[in-house]
Amino acid sequence: MAVDTPSQSVAKAAGDVARGRSRGTGKPRSAAKRSLSTHWYAWAMVAPVIIVIAVIIGYPLIRGIYLSLTNANERNVARSIGVNEIPATYEFVGLDNYADALTGSQFLSTLGWTLLWTVACVSLTFALGLALANILNRKIAGRSAYRLMLILPWAVPGFVSVFAWRFLYNQDNGLLNKILAGGGIDAVPWLNDPTWAKFSVILVNVWLGIPFMMVALLGGLQSIPSEMYEAAEMDGANAWQRFRHITMPGLRSVSTTVILLSTIWTFNMFPVIFLLTRGGPGEATQILVTQAYKFSFEVSPRDFAQSSTWGVLILVLLMLFAAVYRRVLRKQGEVW
């Protein structure tokens, strides 16, 4: 989110200058000059951020879009290794990569599973997070201890917990199967069967995502005035009615935001898939980002063009989603 703040302010500042010019007050240049002289401090402050963003986001983005329009791979990009100077020989191929991706079966089938994965993860995380937030919003004994424990998955670095899960899931030597064996149940192929693997990766991602949902929703719950619940109780509303007509509308602004964020994060949740299954078995759990990574770093020769094409398509899909989501919310009268 730190990324948005400066870029918005830049856009605003730039807008001011542009308006100044188009208004045609006769002294456009001095307006710009005046803006610079009065706001030089602001410009100086945002300059490092603009430079950093241009370097770490702008350049890779433009380069990625450019590569997606070529046939660049490991064998034809420029390399300079000691005495060997090899010039670039890749060519511009227009939209061929996009046509291949969108007409081939691989992109669409991967997209299908990515959507299923996103919807399953976000809805489960949201439902469980909401339930836990409601429980922990009541005055129960040891409330802060529970809250602390439920935040733990968030406090542990993601890759550490994913590795821990990998050990738990190990079919021959994992703890989960040892416990099941104690109950006389046959070993479950957690990560070795395509369907089970899908289930397993979703489970881990839900486990990882609950703390964020819970904390955000708990904050939302606490901002709902308790007088409303009291009044409703006086009017004879039961628990479900209070939840449905006070809690849900009260959480609206928080939940729309966390659902949007969670969707974007889950759609691109690289570490869970990569570290648990590497997209396997076969390609059963490969989502769009892990497949794009595979093109660029795992197949040989490494296919930079196809990888960037998938990257750009992911960006477009997420932007479309955000735009549609915003529109729907605005139609429902949400100011966002």
Partner 1 sequence: MRRGIAATALVAALGVTLAACGSDSGSNGGGSKGSGELSGTVTWWDTSTVGSEDKVFKKVAEDFKKKHPKVTVKYVNVPFGEAQNKFKNAAQSGSGAPDVIRSEVAWTPEFADLGYLAPLDGTAALKSADDFLPQAAASTKYNGKTYGVPQVIDSMGIFYNKKIFKDAGVEVPKTIDELKTVSAKIKQKTGKTGLYLRGDDAYWFLSFLYGEGGDLVDAEKKTVTIDNEAGVKGFKVVKDLVDSGAAKTDATDGWNNMQTAFKDGKAAMMINGPWAVADTYAGKEFKDKANLGIAPVPAGSHGQGAPQGGHNLAVYAGSKNLDASYAFAEYMTSAETQATVAKELSLLPTRQSVYIKPDVATNEMIMFFKPVVDKAVERPWIPETGSLFAPLVTEYTKVLTGQTSPDAGAKATGDAYRKLLKDWK
Tokens of 290: 């892990």
Class of residue 264 by CB neighbours under 10 A (exposed 0-12, middle 13-18, buried 19+) = middle
The residue assigned the tokens 């968030």 is 154
CB of 306 to partner 1, least distance (A): 11
Q: Are 291 and 266 in contact (CB under 8 A)?
A: no
- Minimum CB distance to partner 1 smaller for 99 or for 127: 99
Q: Is the dihedral of CA 190, 196, 198, 201 positive or negative?
A: negative
Q: Is the dihedral of CA 16, 22, 27, 32 positive or negative?
A: positive
- Minimum CB distance to partner 1 smaller for 35 or for 170: 170
CB of 196 to partner 1, least distance (A): 10
DSSP state of 68: T
CB atoms within 10 A of CB 211: 20
**Residue in 260, 263, 249, 230 with CA at minimum distance from that of residue 326:** 260
- Minimum CB distance to partner 1 smaller for 154 or for 163: 163
Q: Are 161 and 167 in contact (CB under 8 A)?
A: no
CB of 62 to partner 1, least distance (A): 19
CB of 41 to partner 1, least distance (A): 9
CB of 87 to partner 1, least distance (A): 11
- Minimum CB distance to partner 1 smaller for 74 or for 230: 74
272/268 Cα distance (integer angstroms)? 10
What is the CA 312 to chain-centroid distance, rounded? 15
CB of 94 to partner 1, least distance (A): 20
- Minimum CB distance to partner 1 smaller for 186 or for 235: 186
Tokens of 24: 């045609």
Q: What residue ranges bind partner 1 (CB under 8 A)?
A: 44-45, 48-49, 52, 74-75, 77, 79-84, 86, 166, 170-173, 191-194, 277-278, 280-284, 297-302
- Minimum CB distance to partner 1 smaller for 112 or for 282: 282
